[in-house]
Chain A
Amino acid sequence: MALATAGCSKEDQVVLNVYNWGDYIDESVIKEFEKEYNIKVNYEDYATNEEMYVKIKSGGTNYDVVFPSDYMIEKMIKEDLLLKLDMNNIPNFANIDDRFKNLDFDPNNEYSVPYMWGTLGIIYNTKMVQEPVDSWDILWDSKYEGQILMLDSQRDSIGVALKKLGYSLNTRDINELEQAKEELIKQKPLLLAYVGDEVKDMMIGEEAALAVVWSGDAVYMMSENKDLRYVVPKEGSNYWFDNMVIPKTSQNKKEAELFINFMCKPEIGLKNTQYIGYSTTNKETMKLLDSEILNNEVAYPSNDIINNCEVFLDLGDFIKEYDRVWTDIKS
């Protein structure tokens, strides 16, 4: 590695500022990187894309590697907040599964390298729901009145209604959006609640029969309660990505690329996916996984399901209409 600064004294050791989601890396990976390249890593975490965006947009920070989600990457590209990656420095990009490259938010992967991914679907308790679940329609079934949980998240919940109606979850058609609103208002009396993180404990504690959740959380819930099942409905759903990018605040682009490349190593990817429990985007890592995990449709769904999913795109000013509709639904 020509870049390695081995032999340098402590003072001129490069410091890399990594800004990631909370609890979203196997800590030993950081130590390994520090040791291998003699680079010190300053590690910080955030809870939402928006939080991270504020810190980078307002300045005064010098983050080198961050992990935004799909729609946020698109927004940051539009606002010129990211540096273009030099893929010559990230040869391990070849390890990334082709299905997760060149997605709509970063069409040629000029700015981002995929890290983790997952889907949005329905988790249900087989003791309370005996019929097969394969459609969003079940969330509108009056049989389950008071036993349904929806996510307290604007894009996700409106997305569910749009998909139920057969529309794109990035629609900019006001009529489609209004129809989705009517659906969600119709559904409201059937709901137990709109929930956030507590959905996990509620489903494990069998307080509800059905809930809309992300696949990564579903894997955890199912490991805690054997009666839970997860399904991505046939109408299609959302799939999401957290990718690695280098923001313009970076002062060590070469080392940042070195870090991204390191994260794409098969064994490193394995450590991270095993620690986090989310699905890896790295096809070489997948080869190292137990077949039990790999054949788990929750974490690694078939191509049929993937092809039926859409990523969230940045809606620009049209997001105001979503805000308005969401307020109407919640009030």
Chain B
Amino acid sequence: MVEKWIKRFYAFLLYLFLYAPIIVLIVYSFNSSKSRGKWEGFTLKWYVELFKDRQIMEALYYTVLVAFLASIIATIIGTLAAIGIHDAGPVKKKLLLNLNYLPVLNPDIVTGVALMSLYIFVGKQMGLVTMLLSHITFNVPYVVLSVLPKLKQLNKHLAEAAMDLGATPFYAFRKVVLPEIMPGIVSGALIAFTMSIDDFVISFFTTGSGVQNLSIKIFSMARRGLNPKINALSTLMFLTVLILLLIINRKSSLEIKGKDDVA
């Protein structure tokens, strides 16, 4: 009995620790005072002002645009790269894998400064293109890492059997390999998308010409104090992620159920 109680208490503490900041953030997005120091009553005005703020909306636009494009492009490059690495000989495979790990382990600041130096070296003006290229660069290794395990699970004779039955290699890839590794590709794309939305350091060093994402925009407001508009925006983003998560969970549980039915 006591043990059970301790377990519950431990779980409660753990989740309180994880979610308390988010709850406070959400609650204060409805505070009619600009200060986090006191509560002055319920309001929705920060949500209204948020959508009227041209600059925050522009930053949101660039954030989503870059995250969307970068995750799609990185997913394509990363999936193809994973297939290549999977099919490589043992020595080459090990080398390629380690080369893939390095950028993941590298601190963001090193990646950011390195990319900046590269763009300056080739004389590229900082802006949307440089930021997008940087995001693709740091996303590709994550996609590779999430697709590779699925390839390992894949029965390599499946594609061969398809080709024996007359499928062209591309047709076999599309109809046999791709559906099998799809969960890995989807989770890779999702990781890439969230990494891209998250990023501050690399974006900071590689942007210019009036292009800035939300993290840079929010950070720049620090001197004058964060606005509750930012709380409102964060609340909306949190809810979006939550809904996305629920949809994915539901979809995958349905899939599992569907498979069980067939079996």
Contact = CB atoms under 8 A, between A and B. Distances in A.
A43 B210 contact: yes
A200 B35 contact: yes
Interface string A250-292: 0000000000000000000000000010000000000000000
Contacts of A59: 120
A201 B209 contact: no
Given A48-B223, A200-B225, A204-B35, A62 B209 contact: yes
A279 to B, nearest CB: 14
Interface in B100-140: 116, 119-120, 124-126, 130
9 contacts: A22-B217, A23-B220, A43-B55, A61-B125, A61-B209, A62-B208, A62-B209, A203-B37, A205-B38
A58 interface: yes
Interface of A is mostly: mixed
A123 to B, nearest CB: 13
Interface in A31-60: 41-48, 51, 55, 58-60
B20 interface: no
A22 B220 contact: yes
Given A21-B220, A205-B38, A44 B119 contact: no
Interface residues of B, number: 34
Given A43-B210, A61-B208, A204-B38, A22 B126 contact: no
Contacts, number: 97
A197 interface: yes
A23 B209 contact: no
Given A27-B54, A201-B35, A47 B209 contact: no
A182 to B, nearest CB: 31
Contacts of A48: 223
Contacts of A224: 33-35, 37-38
A58 B212 contact: no
Interface of B is mostly: loop
Contacts of B210: 17-18, 41-44
Contacts of B152: none
B222 interface: yes
Contacts of A17: 208-210
A202 interface: yes
Nearest to B37: A205
Given A42-B210, A224-B37, A21 B223 contact: yes
A217 interface: yes
A197 B55 CA distance: 22
A45 B220 contact: yes
A51 B222 CA distance: 13
Nearest to B33: A224
Nearest to A49: B223
Contact of B208 (A23, A44, A45): A44
Given A43-B55, A58-B116, A60-B126, A197 B222 contact: yes
Contacts of A58: 116, 120
Contacts of A44: 207-208, 210-212
B219 A47 contact: yes
A100 interface: no
Contacts of B23: none
A60 B125 contact: yes
A280 to B, nearest CB: 16
A17 B227 CA distance: 25
Contacts of A205: 35, 37-38
A51 B112 CA distance: 14
B224 interface: yes
B250 interface: no
A194 interface: no
A15 B227 CA distance: 29
Nearest to A46: B220
A22 B222 contact: yes
A314 to B, nearest CB: 20
A277 to B, nearest CB: 9
B45 interface: no
A144 interface: no
B221 interface: yes
Contacts of B257: none
Interface in A163-220: 197, 200-205, 207, 217, 220
B223 A22 contact: yes
B171 to A, nearest CB: 46
Interface string B44-73: 000000000111000000000000000000
Contact of A45 (B36, B217, B226): B217
Contacts of B37: 200-205, 207, 224
A24 interface: yes
B224 A22 contact: yes
Nearest to A202: B37
Contact of A47 (B35, B120, B125, B221): B221
Q: Which 6 A-B pairs have the closest CB atoms?
A: A42-B210, A205-B37, A22-B220, A45-B220, A204-B37, A201-B37
A60 B224 contact: no
Query: Among the interface residues B125, B209, B217, B224, which one has the most CB atoms of the partner chain A within 10 A?
Result: B224
Given A43-B55, A47-B220, A201-B36, 10 more contacts: A21-B223, A21-B224, A22-B223, A44-B210, A44-B211, A47-B222, A58-B116, A60-B126, A197-B226, A217-B225
